[in-house]
Structure 1
Amino acid sequence: MKTLTYVTTKDVNELAWPELQQNTGLYSPATRVFTDFKVSIPRVIEPTVRADVLANIMKKEHVRMKVVVDAKNSFLGIVSLEDLSEEAFIKQAAAGYLRDELLAIDLMRPKEELLAVSYSSLKNSDIESLIYSQKSNPFQHLLVVDEETKAIRGLISANDIVRQLKLNVDVTTSTSFAKLHAVIEGDYAQSKRLRVA
């Protein structure tokens, strides 16, 4: 057992505070809304996990997307709660599959079908440019690839952008980039609050 040292707070007058960042706005660097896998451990799942079990795991963990990797942690694709919706299970049942035999690999979006943004271009971009470039993206997550290392460097979530910009959008449901773009173009187009850089 380790021994802890206790001290009196009688002569302590200060609090430690985190280093404050400026408010995030449309013209803030896009990296402010980037989840960097060099800082945050990616949420991964194996392709052989039952899809219905995975949906429950993700709901309990309060995550909407996982990266699918094999036993050697090689990237295979992604799976989101949208991919594991009741509609997706019904569609698979209509194709002859039983609900309890569907695996993550059956409902994931394979890497061959995904488009990602380059990390080097993200570093030189702002949030507005990022949102505009994704105006047709029907999904909530966007992968970021480090082209030098040929690795998934991280991801960007439309819900994270909503939170950071403090938009009046319900984040208890998934927000696609297309919906986020529509909100920015519509309700917030003239908002000076978003234009703080």
Structure 2
Amino acid sequence: MKKLPLVNLTAVDNILSPNYNENINLSSSAMSVFTDFKYQKAQVIEADTTATQALQLMQKSHVRMKVAISNEEDFLGIISTNEISEQNIIARLSKGIHRDDILVKDLMIPKFQLHAFELNDLVNATVGDIVTTLGNYKLRHCVVLDKYNHHIRGVISSSDIARKLQMNAGNDNEFSFNTIYEEAYIQ
């Protein structure tokens, strides 16, 4: 083994960050806006977690969506800040349910209500194809399925697409696939 030299950091001020100024447009590969769970760990949450805890965890980790799983780590659905909105919580409270009894599984979008892109279809697709396909949906996330291996491979986020297309809204929370479609194609 060899001994490596150590360098003094006195003159270093900056930390490298990923380049988010990629030249992404509607003609770019769909794979350029795909969060691949093969390379980036999925943000998961157990379905028995309280909605309040889930929201706190999302805020702490700066994510707006998590994959809901069972205690056995089986895929059950997705939960986002849309579903954990105060309006949805109040609707449950009005039915006599205590706030601490409202769980992720009560508010999540279950897998039987979700639709997904198949991974092989994305390989030859463009960002514009995604936006056009999902243009009528007010969703902020779309799951990507690896049908061959029978698992969830990743997710496509409307806010990621909006950021990469350099679309500006006061707050990218407002971006759904529908708003991206309107801004990209209707204006």
**TM-score of the two chains, using structure 2 as the length reference:** 0.87
Aligned partner of 1:192 in structure 2 is none
Q: How does 1:69-148 map to 2 (within 5 A)?
A: 69-148=69-148
**Match in the other structure for 1:194:** none
Structure 2 residue aligned with 1:180:
180
Q: What is the identity, as a one-letter code, of the residue corresponding to 2:159?
A: N
CA distance in 1, matches of 2:144, 2:32: 13
Unaligned runs of 5+ in 1: 9-17, 188-197
Tell me the matched-pair count: 177
Runs of 4+ in 1 over 6 A off after TM superposition: none
Pair 1:62-2:62 in alignment:
yes
Give, in whole Å, the separation in 2 of the partners of 1:65 and 1:7.
40
Residues 7 and 93 of structure 1: CA distance in aligned 2, closer, same or farther (over 3 Å): closer
- Greater Cα offset, 21-30 or 121-130: 21-30
Gaps of 5+ in 2: 9-17
Paired residues of 1:67 and 1:78 also in contact (CA < 8 A) = yes
Going from structure 1 to structure 2, the CA distance change for 1:74 and 1:126 (only over 3 Å counts) comes to same
TM-score (norm 1): 0.83
| RMSD (Å), alpha carbons | 2.3
Q: What percentage of aligned pairs have identical amino acids?
A: 35
CA positional deviation for 1:52: 1.0
Q: Does the Cα contact within 8 Å between 1:159 and 1:171 map onto a contact in 2?
A: no
Residue of structure 1 equivalent to 2:14:
none
Larger Rg: 1
